[in-house]
Structure 1
Amino acid sequence: MLFAVVALSLVAFARAGETSLALGSPTYVAQGVFPTEAFASYYNVPTLTDEQPQPVITNVLTGKVFAAGLTDPKNIPVNDTSDPRTYPPALLSTDAAGPLVQNAFNQIVNIANLNNSGWGNNCSRCLAGLEVAKAVALVTPESIPTLAVNLCNYFKFSTTCQNTYGPLALGQVLAQVLAAADVAGYDGQNICNNFVSGFCPLPPPSPLNMTGYFAKPKPANAVAPPPSGQRARVLHISDFHLDARYATFAEANCTSSLCCRANNPNSHSLNQVLLPAPRYGWFTCDTPYDLALAALQAIPAVTGTEGSGFDFTIFTGDLVSHDPENELSQTYVEYTETVLYDLYKKYLGSGPIYAAIGNHDSYNQAEDAPALLGTQLGQANLSTQFSWNYDTLSTLWENNDWISSDVAAMAKAHYGAYSVARPDGLRIITINTDLWYKANYFNYINMTKSDPSGMLRFVADELQEAEDAGERAWIIGHVLSGWDGSNPLNNPTNLFYQIVDRYAPHVIAGIFFGHTHEDQFQIFYANNATNISAASAGAVAWIAPSITPLTNLNSGFRMYEIDAVTFDILDAHTWYTNISATASLDNQTAHGPKFVYEYSTRQAYGKSISWPASAPLNATWWHKVTEEFEQNPALIQQFTTYQGKTSVLSPNCTSAACVAAKICYMRSGSGPIGKTCTQGFGSVQ
């Protein structure tokens, strides 16, 4: 059956007079013994089936070997004291701050306990509490972790207050944000909306100021170039989330947080493992080494690239596992980045890999600060507190010959983002979407500005250079700019939407995201989507499925067939492995998981659409697909199946409300537009 699907796809293109790229085997069954050639040496015996391999890895910047204890699944290190803690300048020593902190705690508790009829409302009380906390941050910033933990415990915000907000976790981040943010105004309203149970209504987007973003008006003949008939292969992988601390046969049915960890049982059955973690992964866990290597070996086999490689690969972020804050560290992030980029180089062939930073590719997770913060708070090192990460990543990319030294220097200076003008006429522009991600605390400073970091001005300038040079461009990021609006912030993605409108469809040939772990897409329209139609559709963002099965998903990846001259996407092929079958593979070496062909995008969604076989799957085509969804709502269930990579745990989408909501998400490319859709149907997890 799978072979027939592939064959039909090839026949369709042959009838149109085109040459479709041949795929590889329709299925790939991984070997049952771990491929020991993946690494030079190991701390344990890598072929054991009752534990995950523990390779010996060397830090690319320091030349030092990462200690075995960093990833020891039986004794996971917590509260790393070697990581630098960065605070704004203090006016009062921490030792002398005790009475001030206690007084601030009492004031905030009193404000929170005031009766609504007596004083203010939830929003005004939240803002007043933030002002008290800001006063502490300005005088004795190193006391903020203590205040945050005490308030967290008092109001029962979390059961892990110390591990989340203490000085060895997010405490110093809170101190910086409170010291710099306008907590009584727009910044504070957003903080109280997002982090304090929606106490303030979400303020509307700020008026856009596009001054300086567009050097020239949009050309009158801004149309995409015609197809060339030449094809190339591009791999898209996302959200790998390697768990080097995965404990085979630990609890996969844990009570909270990341499962398949020796230190995370089911609280209702502390003395018995209810669901042993399978060797090749589970729905509540990140990617173990055994699944990671199986996927990387499967990719060349099923895509037909063995011995040749891809023309290039894009990776849309998230290398690191979903650890609790107190188990993360700068060293653990560096370890994971080193491991996976080396494995990509080894298994994915000779073509370059262009990568974007994910929200888990940082420490603290999701945190990236704009460079102006140091100037604002009067301490220069606050501007460079994440430079270690940009240095590590750019060095790895350059050492693997994926980018030049000039581009590596650009990445170091632009928050890990960069631009590459390829000799074939495609400009790759990567962006650090932590700078519009809702969970990044640093984004709650200067929120009335749509681009305080300058990242989006960088994107606009690169697109203008591409237009002037007659190039086409791909934009690669991690956190999607729209869909249901639950992940991005309004102001920066509103600005991004206008930039896309200016340079689509004649320059922008594709936009690519990850983050959700799901197979999705979103369409950008002209004039801020005031007229949603096939004629006004300008660009589409492809949101890739994840390698990690977290949460309740199968593991998958995608390959694009693109026009080798225009760089438009002509088809997309997706593969997955059935995670529900992994438990049957334990304690045996006959074979590993099976990766199977899931679907061709063109075949799955284009059957009822009048569309030339040589035409790309552009925004107009995708809008017509959404019109088909409106006419035949049953097709949304097919989309939902693919959204979860054919997971047995994905819910159905058969109600009128679900169908309408998903079509709305598909037509939203920014946070403000996504938030206008009915919420609650954005994910299958």
Structure 2
Amino acid sequence: MSLLGLLVWAYALVFVSGSPVDNGDESLANILNTFQIMDDKDVTVAISHALKEASLTNDTCGACTGRLAIGKSLSLVRPDLVPATFEKWCNDNKYASESTCATNYHRNTVEASTTGSNFADMLQLMDPYGYDGQLYCYYKDSGACPKPKTPNVSLSHLWPAKQDKHKVAPVSNGSDTFNVLHISDFHIELDYTVGAEVNCSTSMCCTPHSINAKSNASDSSASNWNSFYDGSHYMDSNFSFVRGDKLSNPFQGVSIPAPSFGHYHCDAPELLINSSLNNVVDFAKKQKLDFEFAIFTGDLVDHDEIRFTDYKMTVKSEQYIMRDMKSRLGDMPVYPVLGNHDTFPYGELAQEGYGFSNKDSWNADMLADIYEDYGWLDRKQADYARHHYTGFSVNTKQGLKVISLNSNAFYKKNHYCYWNSTNPDSFGQWEFLIDELVESEKNDQRVWIITHIPPISDSLPLPSKIFGEIVERFSPSTIAGIFFGHTHLDQFNLLYAKDVKSIDTIVNMAWIGQAVTPWVENNPAWRYYEVDSETFSIMNSFNYYSKLNETFANEGQEPEWLFEYSARDVYNVTWPSQAPLNASYWHLVAEKIKSDVSYRQLYENLAKRWSPYVPDCSKGKNCQTDYCFLSTFVTDDYDKCVAQLKSN
């Protein structure tokens, strides 16, 4: 019997028959012992060859699930050899580029954010030939399998029947409001280098390792740029701006040099981040405006290639941004969530209780300490965040409950989401959320939910479906607001109760906060909400941005931050002045965007904050899927909408 045959047979014995069965002189124990007594290099070579054999078929789905089955057999006896084996197979057969093979399969180290050890963990627990394998091969292996049908499961047994009084939203008796700051997606580029290559062929530009491989590519306006000041910074004492020294010759070997405050093809230098935070504080002082608290919807670490994203850089990025927020915002409470970049390795988060959560506990410990030290969470809340890092809740002094969720628990790039994936709640996150909502509903308390990834953007279908069901059950009486980040765009999502999208079937909506990072091709921005003091509904939002391209030729001076728009006014929707900007309001906005190209263009202008890269919606298929994104909340609904659009 070939090694491939032995591997598949071993898998079948354990996971089909359920027990070892003798086959002549070859027992399961003898087969598995073969892996233990063979030289490590020989095992790696032999099994990488078996992986190649499994891939020699036109059935891409069968090839993918077959590789997973072989890997599972190996992971049960020699999980330490899984990364090297799959990396060798990937490189030998040119299944992907060398860097991608390393990113996906090289063992975990502190040197780079490679995920091979997480892949091995996943293999030990997953069912390669079931929904787990199908899901993995669709989302993590370039669509090798068709998208599998989402299991028809629910968590409705965890909540009581909805009473009539909870089928309507509370109405305010007064007109008092307070203000809440929303900031998101800083993505600090610690090695941002003034004068480095902007026109790079790598994933992240403006760094010492950025390479220009785009022949004859240039920005015709770059010859007029003069904002090349090295060492510019803000004083720690009074936050005043200090311009650095102008570089004498920033153009050697560089086609387009990086300006002082950042560029659209780069993540944010700390200088730009502190400029945005200073603007928040200065604006509040000038307007005599108080922010009762801030919500931060995730992503502290930059988008650089995995080989340049090491453990120390991840830790430093997280610590620096938290420090900068605290130093600039002072005693203002900040309620944060973690983004998909805010972990090491990138995007990974293991469930508690299955042997792997210790790989993530360092991050939860460090950040919970910061939250407590800065006074954002009290001891009990911080302890919960430390030990149950898929979520925590805070009761604000205004009487609102803020529930923070870690969206890596449903992120499609997280390996740990691909085992037992028919389980609607393997992380226990949804039960936590439901328990909090049931408690608040019982006490007639309103709730905001904050997380990083919108369910239709990079979320797996089943948790997305469950999230939507939870929101529908506890809307409109309990859930007063939902807030996301991640997309870097100024957007919103709508949840409808039925396939028919009408003002009668609208359930709730979610706000997606703009990013401070300009990556990719957006102007940096922030916003604040005017909130009803009784119902905690959003009465209005006010958005501020900076035209980053105007800092390229301003001799290194600070960016100018400008008022962009008021959400109540910008779309010219007829709406009662005392009514909150609820889901019904945003349904009317979405209908305008759907039916009128001028409103679609306005939406795109605002989404990218009037950057030079806003698409022209009147040309070709630009902006075609905007309505699908805005009018759906669940992954399957969005996919269905886009498929229908393409078929028309």
Q: Which residue number corresponds to residue 405 of structure 2?
A: 431
Quick check: 1:342 aligned with 2:323? Answer: yes
Partners of 2:277 and 2:566 in 1: CA distance:
21
Q: Which residue number corresponds to residue 133 of structure 1?
A: 71
- In the superposition, the TM-score normalised over structure 2's length comes to 0.84
The code of the aligned residue for 1:514 comes to: G
Q: Which residue number corresponds to residue 511 of structure 1?
A: 482
| Cα offsets for 1:466-513 (capped at 9, x unmatched) | 11111100000000112xxx5111000100100000101111110000
**Which of the numbers 455, 467, 470 marks the counterpart of 1:496?**
467
The code of the aligned residue for 1:103 comes to: A
Q: Which residue number corresponds to residue 64 of structure 1?
A: none
The code of the aligned residue for 1:473 comes to: V
Partners of 2:627 and 2:33 in 1: CA distance:
51
| Cα offsets for 1:56-84 (capped at 9, x unmatched) | xxxxxxxxxxxxxxxxxxxxxxxxxxxxx
Aligned residues of 1:287 and 1:548 also touching (Cα < 8 A): yes
SS at the partner of 2:542?
strand
The code of the aligned residue for 1:261 comes to: T
Task: Map 1:590-629; keep pairs closer than 5 Å.
Answer: 591-605=557-571, 607-609=572-574, 611-629=575-593
Q: Which residue number corresponds to residue 384 of structure 1?
A: 358
Partners of 1:363 and 1:575 in 2: CA distance:
32
Quick check: 1:537 aligned with 2:476? Answer: no
Higher relative contact order (CA 8 A, sep 6+): 1
Aligned residues of 1:419 and 1:427 also touching (Cα < 8 A): yes
Task: Map 1:137-536; keep pairs closer than 5 Å.
Answer: 137-153=75-91, 154-160=93-99, 161-162=101-102, 165-167=105-107, 168=109, 169-227=114-172, 228-267=174-213, 272-304=253-285, 309-374=290-355, 382-415=356-389, 417-482=391-456, 486-526=457-497, 529-536=498-505
Shift of 1:268: 5.0
| Cα offsets for 1:251-274 (capped at 9, x unmatched) | 111102111110121135797111
Shift of 1:664: 2.2
Q: Which residue number corresponds to residue 238 of structure 2?
A: none
Shift of 1:520: 0.5
Aligned residues of 1:658 and 1:681 also touching (Cα < 8 A): no
Gap runs ≥5 in structure 1: 1-88, 375-381
Aligned residues of 1:633 and 1:659 also touching (Cα < 8 A): no
The 1:128–1:594 alpha-carbon spacing in structure 2 relative to 1, beyond 3 Å, is same
Aligned residues of 1:101 and 1:136 also touching (Cα < 8 A): no
**Which of the numbers 121, 124, 130 marks the counterpart of 2:62?**
124
Partners of 1:231 and 1:220 in 2: CA distance:
24
- In the superposition, the TM-score normalised over structure 1's length comes to 0.80
The 1:182–1:218 alpha-carbon spacing in structure 2 relative to 1, beyond 3 Å, is farther
| Cα offsets for 1:613-639 (capped at 9, x unmatched) | 010000011111122234433111000
Partners of 1:366 and 1:209 in 2: CA distance:
26
Aligned residues of 1:251 and 1:276 also touching (Cα < 8 A): yes
**Which of the numbers 99, 107, 117 marks the counterpart of 2:42?**
99
Shift of 1:655: 5.8
Partners of 1:654 and 1:225 in 2: CA distance:
41
Q: Which residue number corresponds to residue 536 of structure 2?
A: 567
Partners of 1:402 and 1:575 in 2: CA distance:
25
Shift of 1:212: 3.4
Gap runs ≥5 in structure 2: 1-31, 216-250
Shift of 1:446: 1.0
Aligned residues of 2:615 and 2:623 also touching (Cα < 8 A): no
The code of the aligned residue for 2:370 comes to: L
Comparing 214-223 with 465-474, greater Cα deviation is found at 214-223
The 1:127–1:279 alpha-carbon spacing in structure 2 relative to 1, beyond 3 Å, is same
Shift of 1:91: 9.7
Partners of 2:190 and 2:303 in 1: CA distance:
11
Partners of 2:33 and 2:380 in 1: CA distance:
38
SS at the partner of 1:548?
coil
| Cα offsets for 1:53-112 (capped at 9, x unmatched) | xxxxxxxxxxxxxxxxxxxxxxxxxxxxxxxxxxxx999569833222222111221222
The 1:217–1:427 alpha-carbon spacing in structure 2 relative to 1, beyond 3 Å, is same
Aligned residues of 1:358 and 1:432 also touching (Cα < 8 A): yes
Aligned residues of 1:229 and 1:563 also touching (Cα < 8 A): yes
Partners of 2:623 and 2:272 in 1: CA distance:
34
The 1:345–1:552 alpha-carbon spacing in structure 2 relative to 1, beyond 3 Å, is same
Shift of 1:201: 0.2
Partners of 2:644 and 2:287 in 1: CA distance:
42
The code of the aligned residue for 1:369 comes to: A
Partners of 1:679 and 1:247 in 2: CA distance:
43
Aligned residues of 1:237 and 1:315 also touching (Cα < 8 A): yes
Quick check: 1:672 aligned with 2:615? Answer: no
Partners of 1:148 and 1:223 in 2: CA distance:
54
**Which of the numbers 535, 557, 578 marks the counterpart of 2:547?**
578
Partners of 1:520 and 1:592 in 2: CA distance:
27
Task: Map 1:628-667; keep pairs closer than 5 Å.
Answer: 628-654=592-618, 661-667=625-631
Aligned residues of 1:308 and 1:349 also touching (Cα < 8 A): no
The code of the aligned residue for 2:329 comes to: L
Shift of 1:307: 7.3
Partners of 2:439 and 2:527 in 1: CA distance:
29
SS at the partner of 2:625?
helix
Comparing 648-657 with 465-474, greater Cα deviation is found at 648-657
Partners of 1:325 and 1:632 in 2: CA distance:
42
Shift of 1:537: 1.4
Aligned residues of 1:283 and 1:550 also touching (Cα < 8 A): yes
SS at the partner of 1:418?
strand
The 1:90–1:264 alpha-carbon spacing in structure 2 relative to 1, beyond 3 Å, is farther
Partners of 1:363 and 1:473 in 2: CA distance:
30
Shift of 1:218: 4.3
The code of the aligned residue for 1:233 comes to: N
SS at the partner of 1:559?
strand
Q: What is the percent sequence identity of the aligned residues?
A: 32
The 1:559–1:534 alpha-carbon spacing in structure 2 relative to 1, beyond 3 Å, is same
The code of the aligned residue for 1:509 comes to: A
Q: Which residue number corresponds to residue 113 of structure 1?
A: 56
The code of the aligned residue for 1:390 comes to: A
Comparing 97-106 with 289-298, greater Cα deviation is found at 97-106
The code of the aligned residue for 1:356 comes to: V
Shift of 1:333: 2.2
Shift of 1:328: 2.4
Q: Which residue number corresponds to residue 522 of structure 2?
A: 553
The 1:139–1:256 alpha-carbon spacing in structure 2 relative to 1, beyond 3 Å, is same
Q: Which residue number corresponds to residue 242 of structure 2?
A: none
Aligned-residue RMSD, C-alpha: 2.4
Shift of 1:156: 3.9
Comparing 300-309 with 128-137, greater Cα deviation is found at 300-309
Aligned residues of 1:662 and 1:681 also touching (Cα < 8 A): no
